Amino acid sequence: MLFKIAWRNIWRNKIRSLTVVGSIVIGVWALTFMMAFYDGFVTMYIKSAVENDLSHIQIHNPDFMEDKKVEFVVENVEDINRMLSSDSTVSAFASRSLNNGMIANSKGSRGCQIRGVIPEQEAALTRLNDKIYDGVYFDKSKKKNPLIVGQKLADKMKLKLKSKVVLTFQNVDGDLVSAAFKVIGIYKSGNTIFEEMNIFVELSDISRLMGDKTMIHEVALMLDDVGLLDTVQSAMKAEFPDLLIENYKEISPDVNLYESQMGVITYVFVIIVMFALIFGIINAMLMAILERSRELGILMAVGLNKLKVFLMILIETVFIGLIAAPIGLMLGYFTVLYYGKVGIDMRESMEKIGLNEIIYTELDVGSYFIITVAVIITAIVASVYPALKAIKLKPVEAIYKI
């Protein structure tokens, strides 16, 4: 009986009820979209960082990570390569030389990180060859000292294809070495900070200039399944205890922070939106009780006890939430689905923080369940105060109230 009365009471003032339903629908839709946008942003940020720079696991000489001196190389590279080549969980790996230096031309000079790479390995690991938007990737013709620069650095230094630059860096003896290089390609990674700081040369060229044929400072690898990250890392640490073997979370605290805080941010979004909805629902239900004071007085006078009055108000509020939540979730789902395919172009605004990607919204099934539960809890909480006001009415006074 209470459910039937509560359902009829909702539609006695359709405008007010539909207004409350509409506010909940908009709140749920906005919440769904915000959560999906944030998840998409974090996924894009982590993916960009891992694919362009971090990889899943990096191997270094422990002293190199402290001082960044070029003499601290990875000694047993051949053994590492042999292990990685035989490991079916490793999708790709690359050995690199890393050296901080200066790049200069007639337009000026800038600090940069010089990455000496093995072309085939780097292409397999980071797909650098696919990111060349002007010029060519390292080829087998072996032009003398070829160089690939990022678009951002090329724009700032007015570099074009075949531009000649001078790289200055330290060799193994600590002396400064300068050598001329020619730009053969310009890459675009989607991360403008990375593009501005990192240039690529062939490992053989930079090793020759630094005074050693095998100047490997870093071995980076990607896994087929990131879920095996800890297992592979532990196995490598056991095999090479003298090396520093870190995963991308340990290397980049900001990436780890974003990834670990995704769940927390979800609940923050839910709490903020639901807290705002509570006041709208309370306001509407208080107005409904004020209008129905005489009716509630009559119901209590004929024997409807306070508990049933309380439950009736609660059921009315929950019904409104149950009507609005599926509509809001449906609108949110289709919005997330649409922008998950076409994406949201944030490249101009994101460029200022070093990102240049399209964000694709995404939201897991568990988040939809959390939103549904949150709406029901919100409706129950919002109904408490109006219901308490209702049961405090005195039947005689309420009946004769105008």
List CB contacts of 287: < 8 A, sequence separation 6 or more: 16
List CB contacts of 306: < 8 A, sequence separation 6 or more: 300, 391
Task: Identify the pLDDT of residue 285.
Answer: 87
Residue-wise pLDDT tens for the chain (402 aa)? 788 888 888 888 888 889 899 999 999 999 999 999 999 988 888 888 898 889 999 999 999 988 888 999 998 899 999 999 999 999 999 999 999 999 999 999 999 999 999 999 999 999 999 999 999 999 865 678 999 999 999 999 999 999 999 999 999 888 999 999 999 999 998 788 889 999 999 999 999 999 877 789 999 999 999 999 999 999 999 999 999 999 999 998 888 788 777 778 888 889 999 999 999 899 888 888 888 888 788 878 877 788 888 998 899 999 999 999 999 999 999 999 999 999 998 777 676 566 667 899 999 999 999 999 999 999 999 999 998 988 888 776 667 665
**Angle, CA of 83, 87 and 93, to the nearest 5°:** 75
- List, for residues 211-233, the tens digit of each pLDDT value: 877 789 999 999 999 999 999 99
Q: What is the Cβ-side half-sphere exposure of residue 7, based on CA atoms within 13 angstroms?
A: 6
Residue type, position 201, single letter:
V
List CB contacts of 324: < 8 A, sequence separation 6 or more: 20, 21, 22, 24, 25, 28, 375
Compute the distance between CA of residue 94 and CA of residue 90 in angstroms, rounded to an integer. 11
| Distances in whole angstroms, Cα of residue 14 to Cα of each of 21, 22, 317, 320, 386 | 10, 12, 14, 11, 19
Task: Identify the pLDDT of residue 356.
Answer: 62
Q: Residue 367's closest CA among 34, 46, 26? A: 34
- List, for residues 245-290, the tens digit of each pLDDT value: 999 999 988 887 887 777 788 888 899 999 999 998 998 888 888 8
Annotate 170-210 with DSSP letters as a single string.
E-TTS-EEEEEEEEEEEE--S-HHHHHHEEEEEHHHHHHHH
